[in-house]
Structure 1
Amino acid sequence: MTTTARPAAGGHRVQVVADLGGTTLRLGRVVDGVLDAGSVRRVPTDGIDRHPGLSPHTLQDRVVAQLTYELEAYLRSPHAADANAVGVSFAGPITKDGTVLAGPTLWGGTAAPLPVGSLLERRLPLPVVVANDITAAAWRYAATEPEPFCLITISSGIGHKVFRHGEILVDDAGHGGEIGHWRVDAADDAVPCECGGRGHLGAIASGRGVLLAARRAAAADPDGFTASALAEPAGHRPAGITNEALAAALRADDPFATAVLNHCLLPLAQAVNCVFTAIGIRRYLFIGGFAIAVGPRFIRLLGDQLNRLGCFGLGEQETRDMLALGAADDDHCLIGMAHMVDHALPVPADAGADR
């Protein structure tokens, strides 16, 4: 973008940032790269998670209307009084000019490309930067990771971005960084993905994918389910299993839950192995509600699967050392989006002077 961000009083960089995810829309205020925790507003995303029966086109309209309304309301609040720019991260592939190409976790199947960048610029009084959510999140870690890295989110879906030498490795048309839609199961009856495809990594190894696998395993193996830590909180019903209970059972080393996760982690390990073998990235950071909820055991089990596959040229400990959890919060996109706005929108040279 060519727009220049206006300086706030005292020359501080103040951004209003929003993260539109499949489950939650978050908005907040970031001052000089630091998120004001008291400014964060969270509302359920008005998309497919809340209205699974509506068409993709209808859901897209609802999501856009909600995003615009919430941003306009936030910009009228005291939190935004000294803001000089707006940054929005979006759960889906986005072109360089801010057009969203798809929103599988937002509105499901195919809908028209959405020029959300130009739409928001017309409606909001400040310069706007729009980016993919994992692109934004990667910028949070760009200053602290000295080597190229791959950021992978394991939440309602799966996404990734590779950050190398100051840039995200995607093309201007938005291709790249969508490993969650890599087809890892070619069977005709493979698990359906919210994008309309089947057998995609995100449909199998995401939080939603692992939950579906646990419910199916419980129905297929009632004795194993009854003996597991999942049975009681689920009311002894497979459909009663929740992600929260599943994460707790995994942290407690429950054999039934562990077997389910190991099955789902194999294709994720294959994806990591593919990225490593193809371009030599030696650092993989995992964020997202499900990975963070399972915690260090997620990394340990993934490392087991990766070592089963073998990473060409690496020993067992070198392979495990590639994997790490990101920060244990849900602020990655908000903080990272502010850093991305700083990178994309230069402030005038005299911005440090009070006006």
Structure 2
Amino acid sequence: MSTVSASTLTTCAPRRYVVADLGGTTLRIGRITEGTDRVERVRRMATEGLDRHRGLSAQELQDRVIEQLTLELEAYLAAPGGAGASAVGVSFAGPMTRDGTVLAGPTLWGGPAAPLPITDILSRRLDVPVVVTNDITAAAWRYASAEPEPFCLITISSGIGHKVFRNGEVLTSDSGHGGEIGHWRVDPREDAVLCECGGRGHLGAIASGRGVLTAARRAAAADSGGFTRSALAGPAHGSPDGITNEDLARAVRADDAFATRVLRECLLPLAMAVNCVFTAIGVRRYLFIGGFAVAVGPRFITLLGDELTRLGCFGLSEEEIRAMLALGAADDDHCLLGMARMLAGTLPATAGSGGSA
């Protein structure tokens, strides 16, 4: 978690927060009133990063992303929906230090770029307190009050990330290490699938939404007969490159054999990751969020449970193994709501709403 920039505001309750979720695909900005669970006046736009501009260097993409974020927050705070905000909270899709320096942005700008002091940059540009934290850290705060036992939150979206929440805190180091299981190398082969961070064989390159989509397109090209018979062929107009994540999730929900086989193969290393966390530290609650997991729905948990029970978890029965897995809320407000709860618990009690919206 980052530090809060110094600013003093007039005490007034309830406080209003402007919150942003900067992901590899989408940037969302909204407003939340303290004590509520409703995100208001949401603005959504494509992130000006790797997903849109793959020909640019990592540093050029980083510059584009931070400039987009800053300009969009400035515009939102100046508009009626953001006027009078007590603070800004940003959840960021990548590892960062406790003082608010981004170390990497694999789904945002790909390979290595300069460390990004994002909290300092935003604090200089925005006339309100600023808190920036990793996106899964923010999302974990949404579930903390409802989960009495330690839990592991895993997102399956453009990439894969996780955080373990225990005794009121997220378990990461001050230097930003931890919570990046998507970059655990599960395939050691030299020609393993390439991750957007530049490494090979990483869990996120295989089991994320983007990873499963890549696997489905490759499987369709290699098995034209199976693809032609599947529910994916029609929407894709018979072209493997025409397969989309939406079509893939829909086909898995309908128990399409081809799509289900692809997903099962991708879920095996994810099951191995869950097994590793359980075996290492004993956490028995795993919540899954992220666009792809939510789109597949309960069947995602069923298929993952199949793979995890095949592996086995030391000391647990099949029923106990399956009971560890659950979907989070079926929306994409995890980071925004969690960020607001983090702000409420981080800002000084004297910081309040500066005016009406």
Match of 2:22 in 1: 20
Q: Deviations over 1:115-165 (max 9, x none)?
A: 001111111000100000000000000111111100000001000000000
- Which runs of at least 4 in structure 1 moved beyond 2 Å after TM superposition? 1-10, 33-38
Query: Which residue, out of 54, 72, 93, partners 1:70?
Result: 72
Percent identical pairs in the alignment equals 71
Give the superposed CA RMSD.
1.8
Give structure 2 stretches of 5+ with no counterpart.
none
**1:343: Cα distance to partner?**
1.7
Which of 94, 100, 118 is the matching residue for 1:92?
94
Q: SS in structure 2 opposite 1:16?
A: strand
What secondary structure does 1:83 align onto? coil
2:36 match? 34
Mark the CA change 1:3 to 1:114 in structure 2 (over 3 Å): closer, same or farther.
closer
* Candidates 190, 193, 211, aligned match of 1:191: 193
Cα distance between partner residues in 1 of 2:320 and 2:9: 46
Task: Report the alpha carbon displacement of residue 344 of structure 1 after superposing the two structures with TM.
Answer: 1.7
Which secondary structure does the structure 2 equivalent of 1:180 belong to? helix
In structure 2, distance between residues paired with 1:347 and 1:201: 41
Q: Name the amino acid aligned to 2:298.
A: P
The reply on whether 1:206 has 2:208 as its aligned counterpart is: yes
Deviations 1:316-354 (A, max 9, x none): 0100000000001111100001111122212229x69x9
Q: Which residue of the partner structure matches residue 131 of structure 2?
A: 129
Aligned match of 1:305 in 297, 304, 307?
Answer: 307
* Aligned with 1:238 (options 232, 240, 244): 240
Contact 2:39 2:333 in 1 (8 A): no
| Kept in 2: contact 1:233–1:245 (CA 8 A) | yes
How far apart are 1:229 and its partner, in Å? 0.6
- Code of the residue aligned with 1:299 in structure 2: it is I
The equivalent of 1:79 in structure 2 is 81
Q: Does 1:50 align with 2:52?
A: yes
Query: Does the 8 Å CA contact 2:298/2:327 hold for their aligned counterparts?
Result: yes
Which residue, 52, 60, 71 being the options, matches 2:62? 60
Counterpart in the other structure of 2:147: 145
Q: 1:144 to 1:8 in 2, by over 3 A?
A: farther
Structure 1: state its 5+ residue gaps.
none
SS in 2 for 1:341: helix
Equivalent residue letter for 2:109: W
Match of 2:294 among 292, 295, 312: 292
TM-score, structure 2 as length reference: 0.96
Alpha-carbon deviations, 1:59-102, whole Å to 9, x = none? 00000100000000000011122211110111000100000000
Deviation at 1:35, TM superposition (A): 4.9
Q: Which residue matches 1:182?
A: 184
The 1:255–1:5 alpha-carbon spacing in structure 2 relative to 1, beyond 3 Å, is farther
The TM-score, its normalising length taken from structure 1, stands at 0.97
Question: Are the counterparts in 2 of residues 215 and 239 from structure 1 also a CA contact under 8 Å?
Answer: yes
Partner SS, residue 300 of structure 1: helix
Aligned match for 1:329, one of 320, 328, 331: 331
Please give the alpha-carbon distance, in whole angstroms, between the structure 1 residues aligned to 2:103 and 2:309: 36
Change (3 A) 1:279 1:5: farther
Aligned to 1:156: 158
Per the TM alignment, residue 37 of structure 1 is displaced from its structure 2 partner at its CA by 3.9
| CA–CA separation in structure 2 for the residues paired with 1:6 and 1:43 | 31
Alignment-mate amino acid for residue 324 of structure 1: A
2:283 partner SS: coil
Q: After superposing the two structures, state which structure 1 stretch, 247-256 or 3-12, moved more.
A: 3-12
Counterpart in the other structure of 2:341 = 339
Q: d(CA) in 1 for partners of 2:67 and 2:117?
A: 13
Residue 13 of structure 1: how far off its partner (Å): 2.0
Question: SS of the residue aligned with 1:246?
Answer: helix
Contact 1:17-1:27 at 8 Å conserved across structures: yes
Cα drift, residue 36 of structure 1: 4.4
State the 1:38 CA deviation: 3.8
Aligned residue for 1:244, secondary structure, equals: helix
Checking the alignment, whether the CA contact within 8 Å between 2:39 and 2:336 is kept in structure 1 is no
Are 1:284 and 1:324, in contact at CA under 8 Å, matched by a contact in 2?
yes
Report if aligned partners of 1:205, 1:264 keep a CA contact under 8 Å in 2. yes
Aligned equivalent of 2:269: 267
Residues 263-317 of structure 1: CA deviation (Å, up to 9, x unaligned):
0000000000000000000000000000000000000000000000000010001
